[in-house]
Structure 1
Amino acid sequence: MRAYALIGLLAALVSFAVSAGVLILSKKYRLAPAIRARDVHITPTPRLGGIAMFCGVLVAFGIASQLGRFGVTYFALVFANPGPIWAILGACLLIVLVGVADDLWDLDWMIKLGAQLLAAGLLAWQSVQIVSLPLGNSLLVASPLVNFALTVFLIVLVMNAINFIDGLDGLVAGVAIIANGVFFVYSYLLVQQTSPSNYFNLSSFIAVVIVGVCVGFLPFNWHRARMFMGDSGALLIGLLMAVSTISVTGQLNPGILDDRKVLLAAYIPIILPFAVMLVPLLDFSLAVIRRVRAGKSPFSADRKHLHHRLLDMGHSQLQAVLIFYSWTAVIAVGFLLIFVMQSFLTPLIFMGLGFIVCVVITLVPLDPRKRTEVDVQAADIDSAASEVLASYDPLDEASEGRIRLND
């Protein structure tokens, strides 16, 4: 466990340090893109946090892979086969490069989707793919073609689900910390049962790296954000979360679990990743249905995501983010308790009470006076933003100053 903690801390420190450098360079070279109609901020803000997060991933992978040279064999099995590791890093690099280009110049959605399919295909080609799925007391093994297609679909789905909720300060980073923190605990406990002699595995390693880079980046992304992770960061997090999920599917042999856990625990590797990402996946599904019904591309942008709807209900940005955190924590921890506890009663009580609390804080309307104030402030912000943006020139320092004074 200490080795995992050290890798997570290293990823956090690198992500924090590089974030500071990227922020300085972004301000110096004025790399903040123009504000889009769907954005909830009115000050041009750099969207290059994904670069810092990728650096944290690179350093964490690099240091962990070299520990064996100094007699530290904790992650020997993780890096025993370098092919999948290089595929993971190569896919991450591709996604970050395309994400940075999109953050700067707004690429066509077809280009981004093509890059995602290419990255997912690279991973599946290098055996980072679903090899078996639990079915009762046995494992279901599909054909290589089916496994390949299912892997690509899952990776692209998770990447877009995470990217779709990236609309508020600290939202994706915080959700990723909660979800991957819980998933790390699950995968670590699972490997204790399946491989008692070695607790170090790729799934847990990636989960702790994700937590580390998000913790390091979050201080720059917390409200009011000085920098966003952009598509490069959100797609990177989604890609790594999908890889972590896929890596754990082949570790579970339902036959070695006790009878109490066989029926449900056998499906936890499938249920838990979708459970911790229920809100992003729900947002993604609703967006696709909404846009297709309107005759638009499912990847076209709009201002009707769940976080936008929370703002329209009268919640502040911080309140909306904390609501997302609450839903993620209740669902993720609840399913983890099902795997850990001796009885189903405690997890069900926890999820039931948590669900009630989350529904209340999500749906109960704000005080009428406060809601009126929120509506008036929103109208004032929209008016001010329109006036400021109309006169904004990216090459004029005076106009940038006016925008900051109006924030």
Structure 2
Amino acid sequence: MLPHHLWLPLVAFGVAVATTWLAIRYAIKRQLVDMPGERRSHKVSTPRGGGIGIVVSVLLACFAVALLYPAAAVPAGVFAIGLMMVAGIGWWDDHRSLPALPRLLVHLLAAILLGLLVWMGSGSVIKALFCTLLAVSLINIWNFMDGINGLAVTQAILVAIGAAFLLPFPYALAGLVTAAACLGFLPFNFPRARVFMGDVGSGALGYVMAGLLSLGMSVTEVAIPVWLMLPAAFFIDAGFTLLTRIFNGERWMQPHTQHLYQRFVKREWSHSLVTGGYSLFTLCGITLAALFSRLSQGWEWAGGVIWVAATAVAWFFLRRQFFIKDES
């Protein structure tokens, strides 16, 4: 079993590097470039669509898993179909902007596939429904939060590593492969962005994150709130920003710069500093999640809920103390 640990993540890393490099050249040739603007956090024109490297790596890993573990062929295949749906509609949107409804319908169909896998794996309809909603949420959350250099991909790396730690072998390979694929993309996006993920990458990465968390909820007895501790920073920043915009009667589906990480950048904090701060916070969450996962179910639930609640309190405090005057 040890060789699988060694070569599968390494191959995922190498494929991500090569595919991202090719994606940059394709984007330049096709003029798939994001230009600076009032609602953007970058100051130079940058190619987009490099996240296809992560997608290709994960898809190849699904194929490899189907060969290595025949019993997992059907779940790996179904997940791959869902991932291709999300990545495909994102690729289309990168080339030609689409209305929100078609994208949401595709996201929902892919999420339903993931929910069906959870139902098959756990036998719980409640978990299946929860993971369906989780997938739709994370697809869009990763898209919303992919706005500065390295933020979305570093958070994905950390969530994947956290999931690998909480999952038993061989399921932990899913987290290791995902982290390796993201590491292959990272040098192209951080600290200086030579390419952006694009919708093809950010939405697909959110689906992969949902897949990892859903896998954990299906094959372990670790409480749901402990799994939600891993992406808590993104959940809270994206979720509460969205709710605030809805409550204020704003056009919440339009691009904006009201996420907390965007407010930090508007205050002249560097992308590296903001990305590092989010990473440090998520590392704390992963460490606590690892500790809580060794306790009884009651403590797991209590610890997970308290951490997510503490994240929400921190978000409200920072928003009120430092950024309320910048609201537009």
If the TM-score is normalised by the length of the shorter chain, which range does it land in? 0.7 to 0.9
Match in the other structure for 2:49: 48
**For residue 184 of structure 2, what is the amino acid of its counterpart?**
G
Larger helix proportion of the pair: 2
C-alpha contact (below 8 Å) 2:139/2:204 kept by paired residues: yes
Give the 5 Å matches for 1:177-196: 177-188=157-168
CA drift at 1:341: 8.4
**TM-score of the pair, normalised by structure 1:** 0.68
User: More displaced, 96-105 or 273-282?
Assistant: 96-105
1:97 and 2:88 are equivalent in the alignment: yes
Match of 1:288 in 2: 242
Pairwise CA RMSD: 2.7
Alignment map for 1:232-311 (pairs within 5 Å): 232-252=200-220, 266-267=222-223, 270-311=224-265
Paired with 1:83 and 1:44, the residues of 2 have a C-alpha distance of 42
Cα 1:335–1:149, aligned 2, differ >3 Å: closer, same or farther? Answer: closer
The CA deviation at 1:103 is 2.3
Q: Does 1:3 align with 2:10?
A: no
Instruction: Give the corresponding residue for 2:170.
Output: 200
Q: Distance in 2 between matches of 1:28 and 1:51?
A: 16
Question: Separation in 1 of the partners of 2:106 and 2:248?
Answer: 26
Does the aligned pair in 1 maintain the 2:87–2:203 contact within 8 Å? yes
1:63 is displaced (CA, Å) by 3.0
Q: How big is the shift at 1:65?
A: 3.0
The superposition leaves residues 128-178 of structure 1 with CA deviations (integer Å, 9 ceiling, x where unpaired) of 44865xxxxxxxx75x4x454323211111222222211110111111111
CA distance in 2, matches of 1:129, 1:50: 29
Secondary structure (helix, strand or coil) at the match of 2:273 reads: helix
**Residue type of the partner of 2:179?**
V
Counterparts of residues 345-384 of structure 1 (less than 5 Å): none
- 1:116 equivalent to 2:96? Answer no
Match of 1:386 in 2: none
TM-superposition CA deviations, 1:289-320 (whole Å, max 9, x none): 12212334543321111111112333211111
Distance (whole Å) between structure 2 residues aligned to residue 309 and residue 153 of structure 1: 28
Task: Specify the structure having the higher radius of gyration (Cα).
Answer: 1
| Rounded Cα–Cα distance in structure 1 between residues aligned with 2:189 and 2:45 | 14
Give the alignment partner of residue 339 of structure 1, picking from 293, 297, 303: 293
1:81 CA displacement: 4.3
- Relative to structure 1, the CA distance from residue 177 to residue 274 in structure 2 (aligned partners, 3 Å threshold; closer, same or farther) is same
**Match of 1:401?**
none
Q: Is the 8 A contact 1:15 1:53 kept in 2?
A: yes
Q: How far is the alpha carbon of 1:62 from its aligned partner?
A: 2.3
Matched-pair contact (CA < 8 Å) for 2:160–2:212: no
Q: Distance in 2 between matches of 1:172 and 1:27?
A: 22
In 1, are the aligned partners of 2:63 and 2:77 still within 8 Å (CA)? no
Query: Given that residues 35 and 44 in structure 1 are in contact (C-alpha distance below 8 angstroms), is that contact kept between their aligned partners in structure 2?
Result: yes
Identical-pair percentage: 24
Structure 2: runs of 5+ lacking an equivalent:
319-328
Instruction: Say whether the 8 Å CA contact 1:130–1:247 is kept in structure 2.
Output: no
Mapping of 1:126-141 within 5 angstroms? 127-129=117-119
Who is 1:222 aligned against? 190
Q: 1:170 aligns with which of 133, 150, 175?
A: 150
Supply the distance in 1 between the matched residues of 2:119 and 2:134 (Cα, whole angstroms): 10
Contact 2:65 2:73 in 1 (8 A): no
Q: Which amino acid aligns with 2:130?
A: L
Match of 1:80, SS state, is helix
| 2:108 partner amino acid | L
Q: 2: distance between equivalents of 1:297 and 1:109? A: 13
Taking the aligned partners of 1:3 and 1:83, their CA distance within structure 2 comes to 20
Q: Which amino acid aligns with 2:154?
A: G
Give the distance between the partners of 2:227 and 2:50, measured in 1 at CA: 24
The answer to whether the 8 A contact 1:177-1:210 is kept is yes
Q: Conserved in 2, the CA contact under 8 Å of 1:54 and 1:236?
A: yes
Q: Is residue 115–residue 132 contact of structure 2 (8 Å, CA) maintained in 1? A: yes
Query: How far apart, CA to CA, are the structure 2 residues paired with 1:130 and 1:230?
Result: 32
Task: Determine the structure 2 residue equivalent to 1:213.
Answer: 181
Gap regions ≥5 residues in structure 1: 68-75, 133-140, 189-198, 254-265, 364-407
Residue 324 of structure 1 deviates from its aligned partner by 0.7
Offset of residue 340 of structure 1: 4.7
The residue that corresponds to 1:385 in the other structure is: none
1:130 and 1:32 map into 2 onto residues whose CA distance is: 42
- In the alignment, is residue 313 of structure 1 matched against residue 267 of structure 2? yes
After TM superposition, the score normalised by the length of structure 2 is 0.83
- Which of 92, 98, 104 aligns to 1:107? It is 98
Separation of aligned partners in 2, 1:223 and 1:83: 39
Name the amino acid aligned to 2:78. A
Aligned equivalents of 1:81, 1:339: Cα separation in 2? 25
